[in-house]
Each structure stands twice: as structure tokens, then as C-alpha cells.
Chain A
Amino acid sequence: MSPTKRTGLYLCKGCGIGECVDIDSLAELSEGTDELAVVRTSSAFCLEDAKLIASDIDSDGLKAVVIAACSPRVNRQVFNFGTAKVERVNLREQVAWSHRPGEEATQELAADLVRMGIAASQHASQATPFTQDHERTVLVVGAGPAGLEAAVASAEAGYEVTVIDREPQPGGLLAKLYRCWPSQPNLSSALEDSGLGVLVDKASSHPRITMLTSTTVEALSGEPGRFIATLSSAANEPGGHRQIIAGAVVMATGAKPVAPESFANYGLGTLDNVITSLEMEELALQGAIRRPSDGREALRVAILACDGPNDERNLAYGGNVTSMVALKQAVYVHKSNPDAQVFLVYKDMQTPGFDELYYRFVQHERSIFLVRGSVSSVTEQSDGTLGVTVRDSVLATDLSLEVDLVVVDVAMEPTSAPDTGESVPLHLNYLQGDSVPLGREGFVDSNFVCFPFETRRTGIYAAGTVHRSQDVAASRRDGEAAALKAVQVVERAAHGEAVHPRVGEVGYPEFFMQKCTACGRCTQECPFGALELDDARHPVINPNRCRRCGICMGACPVQVISFPDYSVDMLSAMQKAVELPEDEDKPRLLVLACENDAYPAIDMMGINRLEYSAHLRVLPVRCLGSVNAITVTDAIQRGFDGVALLGCKSGEDYQCHFIQGSELLATRMDNVRETLGRLALEEDRVQVLETSIADARRLPEMLGEFAESVAELGPNPMKGF
């Protein structure tokens, strides 16, 4: 154990703690220990007495304070004392509010928790922030509506912005559109100007925005605060390369239409008068809607939403956008010639929210006919007239249409999707690969509910149609929101602080390199690609990429990775601080609880005054992924009767705040089981339990079942050895 630190212990009696446990005997517990220089009690440390703690730190030179009071999730600002490391012991939510007052088991629980807090304080030190040269600038890749809006928003917030686009003109796909549907629900006009001109003017005339067109990113390395982007330009300077440093990156590389081959069954590519919705925009820009084969005005037009059973790819990227495009283009035809008839063939109209009003509005145009069904064939007669057969209509009979023009409603595929044939847009110079890891259907996203805009590359934020299928108005809002994330990371990185979800955390992983076996596992398992390898194949951290989850720490087979304030040693010392009575009526169960959802849910049990077993000892961890197998096997070998790993849902609908943590745990559990087998212990002594923050009402039962199933196994035979 490292030399003892001068530490103070502060035991609070407020909020019912004093009535539940005997605080004075807890104070006596620590008598005679080396660590504790000061022990105090108070009826409420969060009020005036907080000053007592501050003055003890000043006068006694305390390096650490253990505050046994309310949950660490509350009163963070009150119990923040600068240089002294604060360790919180949760005697309120997890003892006084959830266990029977005055009972021996409750007192033993409180005593163990205080001992665990003291142990933690001896193994954690105040971290020093990482600092380096940094830039308060933003690089926006893609000058479509999302990118331009992100650029303007960042610039308005006071940051220098470089916005680039590979095309010679800004605007992206929007520049190719004739009109948009109304951005406001009042439907004062059926079609609206896109507003692109105003947006481009605003961006290109802004003093803090540099716009580079015909430019792409050739390579991107570095980390938040200091990304190094190599830009390649078709037009400017000799060689066409330049390097810029950026504090953050907004990825707004947009989308492209789903490949035309997907629509061959509708005659696209073989029949002259079958066109895509993008080609329809061109026709509308030219004025009257004329069919390609002979330039005759199209008086009967079929718009196919292409959302039938054979349109999987189109459906994956359609969202509300393809439905709304179909409705909008029906209005194009109607506005161009009120006598022209439009047939909109669809299977599922997706018009959420105010879009519904537009759907209804279009239905009431008497020359626009909505036809529900799937298109089974499109054929062409010699005069260019097209026959469309619609199957599975509501009428249980096929329908036939005769039209002059068929418009195939093509969805937008993100430029990030692996098989779009696009080059990898950002060309990351990262060990884990040159592409930003993708979410569902190839969109650049992580957990869209908890962390919109976050990618799995810290400091790079997605916006617009590369992020999810969305319309122009939504893309612009997306760009603005991503800009907020970008300027936030710039500021945090300047202070060496983490961003979401451990916002403001400064300690980052340190490596005891002498013992590193250069296996490289940490570099592979980091969900954020924070680790690179040096020439000796040893890990090198980019601290500003790190989200402080500790997954590397959980991964390391030789336990050389630790944070100044979170380590395998610390967790080990904490579990060793728990007394393990040999009394059969006093089983001891260790609960390693994820701080993101499980720990708050346990607090919530207390807030709701739900009782749970006093034999459980809750040890908070940053993520289940940060739990090294040795932490679990040590606890079992020491004599804990059972260990529960309480964390977030893994799998496709994962809720892990660090994406892969709970998933990686599953593989580590194999090692744990192997150890259990070697010790001739039952596998059920260690269980992984999934929970979410809303689960407080379900938790007592879940934990009860765990405790019961372990009780059935009898006491751990390792106890006392």
C-alpha cells in the first residue's frame, strides 16, 4: 500500500442518517488507524459545516476527505474542495433510506461502506489535467445545409471556421432542388424556396468563416483541441495540399441517391420516361414537366414511393423524406399544370408530426390521387406511354395506370455507408481505421437517444443526412446542434477535460509500461479509438480523445492501466475493506454497479424508500467494461458469496454509455467462469444483471432473486482462507 495520506472523515447525521445508524460508533471504528487525521460528525455537512471541512483541509493539510453523507450524485458543488481528493460514502440513499433503522445488519452495512470509502481515498489521487497547444477552431466537412448551418453557428459563437466541400459550389444536394415543402406548419404556400442562397451568402460573407470548395480531406489525425487535417484541393495552390489545425470537426458529408440499379424493376435505366426524383427536380427547374422521350408535356404522372417489399434499401434510408418528396413533387406537377393528373403510389406514407398536415393538404388537390399498393410492373408502349400495374391494392384487385412519366422516389444513402462506393470521407489516421465507426444502416451515429451528434470519435460530430435520414429544415437544426457540441469539445479540450458523459473529468489512463506485454488489446477495445501504438507496439494515449470509461483498464490482462483516481488496485482495496463474517446468516454479496444507470437506479430505490437486502455491498464502477476479470475473481477468492455485475443493456439496442462496455464484459466473463471452475465454485456465484435508470421499482426483486440464487448455493467455501 502506498504511504498513508492525511485524510479526514466526515460523518453526517442529516436526512435521517442519524436516526438509522449509530454515527458515533462509526466514528470510533476509525480510531487508531493511521490514515485519519480528523474525524467529525455533523447534523448537516451540506450547510454551514461544509466550511469546517474546508478549514480542516487548510489547517491540517488534508490530502483527502471522506464524506459519509448523501449520494455522490448530489451536492457535488458543495463538496468540492479543490486540491483535496473527495471520496463520498453513500449513507443516505443506500443505507438510511433503504434499510431498517437500528438493526445490526444496517449498521454493518454502514460500517463497511465507510471502510470502503477510506480505502478508496488511500488509492486515489487528484488528477492533473492534460495540456497541449490547442486551437479554438472548427473544421466543417461538407457545405450542404447542415454543414453551412454548423459553420455559421460556430462562427457566431466566436470560433474561426473552415468549411470545405468537394464540389465547386456549396449547397450539396439542396443546390439541385427546385423547391422545398413548407418549413412551417401553417402551409401558407405549398412550396417554398430552399433558402440556400441566403445561407450561402451568410456563410461566405462571415469574417470568421473560410470556405474552400473543390476540396476534400486527405487525412485527419490528432485529437480534440488539435486535429491535423490535410486538405487536398483541385484548384488552389501548387500540389493542392494544405494542412490546417482544428479544435473540432463537424462531419456533414451528406448523402447520395440510392444507386439506380435498385430500381431496375421499375424500368429505371431502360425506359426513357422513367426518371428518378432527383431528375424530376431538374425537370421542374426547367419549367413545365416534359417527358424525356419526346419533350411532350406530361399530363399524367405516376410518382412511385418505392417502399414496397423489394425496396429494402430505399426503405432503410427513406424515413419521412421520401414520402414528403413524393407529396412535394405531386405538387410540382399540379402547379405546373392544374389539369395534369398525378398518381402517387405508396405502401406506407410516413408523415410524422406536422408533415401530416402537408399529406392532408396534398390529398385535397383534386387532380392528385393517392394509390396504396405495390408496383408490380412498368411497361412502355411504342408512343412512350407507360403502363403501371399496382398490386396488393386495398381493393384486392390489381390496378392499371396509363401515364406519360414515372418518377421513382429515390432515398438518400449516407455518404458514410460502407457500400455506397464513396471514398471514406474523413480518412482518419487512426489505428482503428480510417472511417468513423457507423451505427445502424451505415449512418454516423452512436446512441441516438442518449447522445445525439456524438460519434465514436471524440471531437467529431455528425450532422445532416450523414447522421440520419432527415429533411432540409431538420438538417439545418442538426448542423446548429452539432456546432454546439463542437465548440463545447474545443473548450473542454483546452482544459484537458472530458466530454460526454463524464463531463469535466480530467484524469486519464496511465500505463505502467515496464509490465506491458504489448498485446495491443487496450488499443482494440477502446470504443473511441483513443489509443495508438508506438514503434515498440506499446499503447500511446491521446488524452483528449479519451472519454474516461476505463474499458482499457478492464481489458488489460496484466493490469498495467490505471487512472489517478480509478484503478484495479483501488477497487481491490475497496472490496477488501468489506468484512466477511463467517456467520452463515451473514452472506456478503458484492454488487459492481455501473455509475451511469445502475448506481442511480439503486439510489432511486432509496429515494422511493424501497427496501433491499442489507447483505449487498455496492461498489460503483465507471462502466462494466472497466471491470477487470481479476476484480471479480479476487472478490470470490476472498470469500464473497456472490458477485453481481449490474449494468446497461448490450447488443443491437445497447444502452451502454460507452457503446461497447457491457458487450466486452460478456467476453471477460468467460475468463471469470474459467477461474470459478478451477476453484470448483459454482458459476452462478457471479451474475451479470441488466438494468436501466428507470428500473428502480424492479430492482429490489432483481437483486432479491440474485441473493436467493446465491443463498441456494450455500456459503462460499473460500471464506476464511
Chain B
Amino acid sequence: MPADSTTTDSAGGHDLSSSSSSTLTEAHPPLALRPDVGFIDRLAELAGDSFLSCYQCGTCSVVCPFSPQGTHLPRQEMLFAQWGLENELLSSPNLWICTTCGNCARLCPREVDIPGTISAARDLYVASRDIPRELATAFENTSRQGNPLGHSARKRADWAGNAGVDVPVMAKLGRSVDILFFTECYWSYHPRGMQAAQAMARMMSALGVDWAILGVEERCVADSQRLAGEIGLFEEAAQKNIEVLGKYSFKRLVTPDPHAYNALRNLYPSYGGSYQVQHYTQFLAELIPSMSLGPIPQRTVTFHDPCYLGRHNGEFEAPRRLLEAIPGISLVEMGHCRADGYCCGGGGGGMWNSSFVAEQVDERLAEVRIKEAVGTGADVLAVCCPFEVSLFEDAAKSTGNDDKIVVRDIIELLDESLKLH
């Protein structure tokens, strides 16, 4: 919080890095309540005015994954929004640690769109102020190269070379396919993601699926960039992707990224792109009877629900059905699971904001979560969101748990089982 907490005309001049703590435990001079109704109107135009319904029960802050770290998130931000306190809201560091995981909104008795309100506030911020550097870089990369990692757009399909099976590309195929696989950035570029993508290709081939990828024509869906405040970037990407998708004929669009899934399924229709969209776990769960899976060495596995597959889109069963289909796996649940799943910290821009978040809180969410996973006695943490593998592998190392647990995408476990058949 700013030391001078009166609302001033300093919009645009506020330096985020000076805010070392998001808590309000120290003594402060009274906060002068001088509401700016115009700001409320601007925010409501972007996010709807559900935040005006907040009656400060505090349920959101209790279930926020950051709450043990004393952040007051998001209760404090809803109050700033209601009161039209532009400077307080936009200069709150909390604004940039929220992962839009949505557990608050799930339980809000007044049905406030809390993640939407946070995103709208970020959008108003981005328009006028400097954002954390790391995040700015991710935005720039997305804009220039079509991916937040900053790799060359031309290398987007390079992973396919090492798959061991043929990976068809739409542009070269010249015909319609059943499944258009939207690989998204982390499976295209990240080393651990590429391994998963290659496993996916082998599974598609083994199942005899008629499929193809977009290859270099694909670009980042940028749903997390949208939630981080770059609505413009998202809209630009949507326009381009819809244009490319419009060139081809396919029955279903399948993606490994729950964030892309969320946008393709829920937002693209309003931009003119309506498809039948599935997350890869949903697609494969339908094909379990056709899979020839061999027994893998006995392992206890626990599963982490991705926020944007589970809580935001209601899919809890498909990943579990896949895991249960693998001979040798016994599945155990963590206390936070399904609708009450605990965020890995990667959503809503968190993936590219770790230095900033680290300054604000003592423990990263992935670290809290990995400890919970280890606590179940599992030796594998199974995931199905491309952000999660690297986040949890880092967390396992930083918390000294890398000898206790390994992190595997579900497709990797399926691939292993497939090979052993």
C-alpha cells in the first residue's frame, strides 16, 4: 500500500516496486474516502457491476490460495472497486499476484465476478502505467513471436521432428481431418512440454486418429495474457487464429492447454469462431476402450486439477478416468481437489510474473501445493496443464522434495503404459 493513501492525481506516476508489502498491518494515517464514480463506471463497463454487490463477508479471502500469507486478496480489491478508489485499486500489488483461479467466485454468496473484476482493473492499469517487467516481456514476446516464451514463430512445429511418428500439418495435408490439434505454446517450445507433445503424437498414431496440427500458422491464444490485463493482445490473437482456422475443415479442435481450451470454448464464439472444442483428456477419455495399455511399475499417483479445466469449466472426471485406466496406478486425492482445487500459481499471468510475486509473498503456490501432494504419500504428481510440469518440478526442488515425488503429465504416463503393452 502506498504510504500516502489519499486519492491523488498521481495516476500514471505510481511506482509498483516501492510497494514491498500488500498487507495493511502497520499503522497508517486514515484513508480518505473520496470516491470517483467515473472510475466505477469504467470498471463496470469492462467487468459488469457485480462487484457492487460485495457485502464484505470475507469468504473470498478465506479461500484465496494466498490468504495464509496475509494478502487481504481479493476482499480489499473489491472494496476499492466499490468505493471507486482508482489509485488504491490500481496500485495494490495484490492486483498482480491474483492468478484468477476462481475459488473466490465459486463460493461468493453475492456471485461477484471477482476474477473478471481483477482482470478489468489490470486492463485499466495496463493502459496507464508500467507493469512488472517480466510480464511486459511476456506480452512483447506474444505480440512479436506469437508465444510468450520468445521463441521464433518459425520453430513452432519443430517438436514434431522427434516424435517418432508422423505428425501431419494442415497446410501440407490439403484435406479435412477429424481432429485439429491446437498444440499451444508450452507444448510447442518448452522442453518438458515438447516431450508431452511427442507422447501425444505417439498416442494419436497408436489410436489411428485422423489428425493434424496447424504448425507455424498457429499462434498463442493468449487467454492468460487477457486475464493479466492485455485484452487487446488477446483480441488480436483471436482474430488471427480464427482467420487461420477458417481456412481448414475439421470436426473437433483438441488442445492440451486448459487456458486455451477456456478461450476457444467460451470466448472465441463471440469473436466469430465457433468450434467443437475438447481438452486432450476429454478427447482421450472417450477412447480408453481402444487403448492398449500395459502395466507400469506400481505407483501411487495424486492428481492436480487445473483451475481452468476443473473449476472454470467443470471437467473433473476425464483426467481421473485416464489415470485409473493405466494398470499399476493407484490414485489418491489431495485435500484440495476438484472444485476446491488449489492453484499452481501459473494462471492469470502468474506464469510470467514470478519475480514480482516472490517479492510479495513468502511461499509460491506451487510450493504449497507440492507439499500437499507429498503429504498424500504419492510418488507421482499427475498434471494436465502445460504450465504445471515446470512449476511443480521447480517447486519440488526448492522445497527439497524432488527425491520424493516426480511430476508427470497424464499423457506421459499414458505413453509409458502404451510402450509397455
Contacts and interface: CB of A to CB of B under 8 A. Distances in A.
A394 interface: yes
B75 A396 contact: no
Contacts of A678: none
B420 interface: no
B83 A369 contact: yes
B19 to A, nearest CB: 15
Given A394-B79, A396-B24, A400-B31, A366 B37 contact: yes
Interface residues of B, number: 29
B55 A363 contact: yes
Interface in B28-87: 28-35, 37, 40-41, 44, 49, 52-53, 55-56, 58, 72, 75-76, 79, 82-84
A370 interface: yes
A397 B110 CA distance: 25
B5 interface: yes
Interface in A392-423: 394-402
A372 interface: yes
A389 interface: yes
Nearest to A362: B52
B33 A364 contact: no
Interface in B254-273: none
A341 interface: yes
A369 B53 contact: no
A370 B49 CA distance: 15
A400 to B, nearest CB: 4
A508 B108 CA distance: 60
Contact of B40 (A359, A366, A398): A366
A349 interface: yes
B5 A363 contact: no
A335 interface: no
B30 A389 contact: yes
A400 B32 contact: yes
B398 interface: no
A371 interface: yes
A369 B33 contact: yes
B110 A360 contact: yes
A363 B75 CA distance: 16
Nearest to A396: B24
A126 interface: no
B56 A369 contact: no
B397 to A, nearest CB: 36
A367 interface: yes
B97 to A, nearest CB: 18
Contact of A398 (B30, B37, B44): B30
B25 interface: yes
A349 B55 contact: yes
Contacts of A343: 33
A367 B28 CA distance: 26
Given A369-B83, A370-B82, A401 B53 contact: no
B76 A394 contact: yes
Interface in B1-40: 5, 24-25, 28-35, 37, 40
A299 to B, nearest CB: 12
Contacts of A366: 37, 40-41, 44, 49, 52, 84
Contacts of A341: 35, 37
A397 B5 contact: yes
A305 to B, nearest CB: 14
A369 B82 CA distance: 7
B89 to A, nearest CB: 12
B35 A372 contact: no
Interface in A159-211: none
> Which of B30, B32, B34, B75 has the most CB atoms of chain A within a 10 A radius of its CB?
B30
A621 to B, nearest CB: 49
Contacts of B35: 341, 367, 369
A109 B307 CA distance: 68
Contact of A394 (B28, B30, B56): B56
A395 B25 CA distance: 9
Contacts of A395: 24, 31, 72, 76, 79
A394 to B, nearest CB: 5
A399 B29 CA distance: 8
Nearest to B6: A400
Contacts of A359: 55
A401 B5 CA distance: 13
A343 to B, nearest CB: 7
B107 to A, nearest CB: 18
A371 B72 CA distance: 17
Interface in A344-378: 349, 359-360, 363-364, 366-367, 369-372
Contact of B53 (A363, A394, A397, A398): A363
Contacts of B84: 366, 369
Given A360-B110, A366-B41, A399 B53 contact: no
A370 to B, nearest CB: 7
Given A370-B82, A395-B79, A363 B33 contact: no
Contacts of A371: 33, 83
Nearest to A394: B56
> Which of A364, A389, A396 has the most CB atoms of chain B within a 10 A radius of its CB?
A396
> Which of A366, A367, A370 has the most CB atoms of chain B within a 10 A radius of its CB?
A366
A399 to B, nearest CB: 5
Contact of A401 (B29, B33, B37): B33
Contact of B32 (A364, A369, A402): A402
Contact of B31 (A370, A372, A399): A399
Contacts of B58: 394
A396 B30 CA distance: 10
A376 to B, nearest CB: 10
A396 B79 CA distance: 12
Given A369-B83, A395-B79, A363 B52 contact: yes
Interface string A257-272: 0000000000000000
A367 B37 contact: yes
Contacts of B82: 363, 369-370
A314 B56 CA distance: 23
Interface of B: 5, 24-25, 28-35, 37, 40-41, 44, 49, 52-53, 55-56, 58, 72, 75-76, 79, 82-84, 110
27 contacts: A349-B55, A360-B110, A363-B52, A363-B53, A363-B55, A363-B82, A364-B49, A364-B52, A364-B53, A366-B41, A366-B49, A366-B84, A367-B35, A369-B82, A369-B83, A372-B56, A389-B30, A395-B72, A396-B25, A396-B72, A398-B29, A398-B31, A399-B30, A399-B32, A400-B30, A401-B33, A402-B32
Given A395-B72, A400-B33, 10 more contacts: A341-B37, A363-B55, A366-B84, A367-B35, A397-B24, A397-B28, A398-B31, A399-B30, A399-B33, A402-B34
Interface of A: 341, 343, 349, 359-360, 363-364, 366-367, 369-372, 389, 394-402
